[in-house]
Structure 1
């Protein structure tokens, strides 16, 4: 004697619960994957092309009450904005911080700025530049 099969005939009653769950997970995974790609693309665009002004510290010299910083600023010709500089003492404490504006109609600006300090600064750090 043979035993009767307990499985339903293939395809007769529609997809099984496991197949429906697999399809749901695939759709959810696809939507989340697309959302992640959009987010990464947005961050990449902002990081690469979103900032219209950037700068670099070329050199600096310090005295007891100020730090002179030579900056090279690169920006769009019509852009205006500011760069933030700070200086720290030998023990790591911040002794000066200031914003310097760059409104000139030029794409490259070499400028020496003076950052006033409360004590002798040993560093000149560019914290960032921001377009208006």
Structure 2
């Protein structure tokens, strides 16, 4: 008893070809969904950040660090920025939140951060809107 082999391509796709096509479609749909999700989170991270700031300069002396901070925000938005100072060995010697309630969209301030030991840095950890 011999098996008869049908001509290829005459009677539709083989089971392997159908499975490959189905996997390609599923992979494409999942890839597009992942890209859309990444785009959604990226947009909300950028658009949701209503306060940004930058340390312009700092002067460490004794038990305090004077920090020149420039804050950019939407007009009418209130919030706070967290600043910390570290000692020469890397230990944290001071941390404080500074509030910004002004209506201006740009606030330029010199702040004083009290420290428990002489600080050698002034680092902006982040800003948050209320």
Asked whether the two chains share a fold, i.e. TM above 0.5, the reply is: yes
**How big is the shift at 1:63?**
1.8
Unaligned runs of 5+ in 2: none
- 1:11 shift after superposition: 4.1
- Specify the alignment match of 1:117 in structure 2: 115
**Structure 2: distance between partners of 1:127 and 1:52:** 15
* Aligned CA distance change for structure 1 residues 9 and 109 (closer, same or farther; 3 Å): closer
Distance 1:46 1:91 in 2: 38
- Aligned residue for 1:7? 6
Q: CA RMSD in A?
A: 1.9
Match of 2:73 in 1: 75
Give the unaligned 5+ runs of structure 1.
none
Partner of 2:97: 99
Q: CA 1:35–1:9 in structure 2 vs 1: closer, same or farther (change >3 Å)?
A: closer
Question: Equivalent residues in 2 for 1:10-89 (5 A)?
Answer: 10-12=9-11, 14-89=12-87
Residues paired across the two proteins, number? 129
Q: Which runs of 4+ in 1 moved over 6 A?
A: none
Q: Distance in 2 between matches of 1:42 and 1:77?
A: 25
TM-score when scaled to structure 1?
A: 0.87
TM-score of the pair, normalised by structure 2: 0.88
Distance 2:65 2:83 in 1: 10
SS of aligned partner of 2:121: coil
Query: Offset of 1:4 from its aligned partner?
Result: 7.1
Residues 9 and 68 (structure 1 numbering): CA distance in 2 closer, same or farther, change over 3 Å?
A: closer
